Amino acid sequence: MSRYSLRCRVCQASGPADDRHTCAACLGPLEVVYDFGSGPRGRELRQEIESGPHDLWRYRRLLPVEQPADPGAVGWTPLQRAERLGARLGLRALYLKNDTVNPSLSFKDRVVAVAAQKAREFGYRTIACASTGNLAGAVAAAAARLGLDAVVFVPSNIEPAKLSVPRIYGARVVSVDGTYDEVNRLCAQIADDRRWAFVNFTLRPYYVEGSKTLLFETAEQLGWRLPDALVIPIASGALFVNTAKAARELMESELVARTTVRFFGAQPAGCGPVADAYAAGSAKYTAVRTPATIAHSLAIGTPADGNQALAIARESEGAVEATTDDEIIAAIRLVAETEGILVEPAAGVTLAAVARLARSGAIDPDGTVVAYLTGNGFKTPEVALPSRDALIAIAPTLAAFEAAVPQTNGQLVEA
Q: What is the DSSP string of 218-247?
A: HHHHTTS---SEEEEE-SSSHHHHHHHHHH
Q: How far apart are CA 198 and CA 342, in angstroms?
A: 30
> Using CB atoms within 10 A of its CB, is residue 36 exposed (0-12), middle (13-18) or buried (19+)?
middle
Q: How many other CB atoms sit within 10 Å of the CB of residue 359?
A: 10
Q: How far is CA 379 from the centre of its chain?
A: 16
Q: Tell me the pTM.
A: 0.93
Beta 368-373 vs 93-98: how paired, if at all? Answer: parallel
> Using CB atoms within 10 A of its CB, is residue 39 exposed (0-12), middle (13-18) or buried (19+)?
middle
Q: Does residue 126 contact residue 151 with C-beta atoms inside 8 Å?
A: yes
Q: Does residue 367 contact residue 226 with C-beta atoms inside 8 Å?
A: no
User: Rounded to 10 degrees, what is the CA torsion of 80, 96, 219, 230?
Assistant: 160
The pLDDT value recorded for residue 133 is 85
pLDDT along the chain (415 residues), means of 10: 86 94 92 90 96 95 88 92 98 98 96 96 95 92 95 89 90 93 92 92 95 98 98 97 98 97 98 98 96 94 96 98 97 97 97 98 98 94 72 90 88 73
Buried/exposed code over 43-82 (b: 16+ C-beta within 10 A; e: otherwise): eebbeebeeeeebbbbbbbbbbbeebebebbbbbbbbbeb
Q: How many other CB atoms sit within 10 Å of the CB of residue 159?
A: 21
The pLDDT value recorded for residue 389 is 58
What is the phi-psi region of residue 281: left when phi exceeds 0, alpha when psi lies from -120 to 50, beta otherwise? Answer: left
Half-sphere exposure of 162 (CA within 13 A, CB side): 29
Amino acid at 136: A
User: Rounded to 10 degrees, what is the CA torsion of 208, 250, 262, 89?
Assistant: -90
Alpha helix (H) residue ranges in 270-384: 273-280, 306-315, 325-339, 345-360
With respect to CATH, is domain 79-105+211-383 assigned 3.40.190.10? Answer: no
Q: Does residue 264 contact residue 353 with C-beta atoms inside 8 Å?
A: yes
The pLDDT value recorded for residue 1 is 47
By three-state DSSP, how is residue 320 classified? Answer: strand
Instruction: For residue 248, give the H/E element and its range.
Output: helix 238-252
Q: How far apart are CA 406 and CA 415, in angstroms?
A: 6
The pLDDT value recorded for residue 357 is 98
Q: How far apart are CA 269 and CA 325, in angstroms?
A: 8
Q: How far apart are CA 243 and CA 240, in angstroms?
A: 5
Q: Does residue 267 contact residue 321 with C-beta atoms inside 8 Å?
A: yes
The pLDDT value recorded for residue 414 is 67
Q: How far apart are CA 144 and CA 310, in angstroms?
A: 36
| Domain residue limits, the chain | 79-105+211-383
Amino acid at 192: D
Could you report the per-residue pLDDT of 224-271, keeping only the tens digit for each? 999 999 999 999 999 999 999 999 999 999 999 999 999 999 999 999
Q: What is the DSSP string of 145-182?
A: HHT-EEEEEEETTS-HHHHHHHHHTT-EEEEESS-HHH
The pLDDT value recorded for residue 66 is 86
Strand order of the β-sheet with 4-8 is: 14-15, 4-8, 30-34
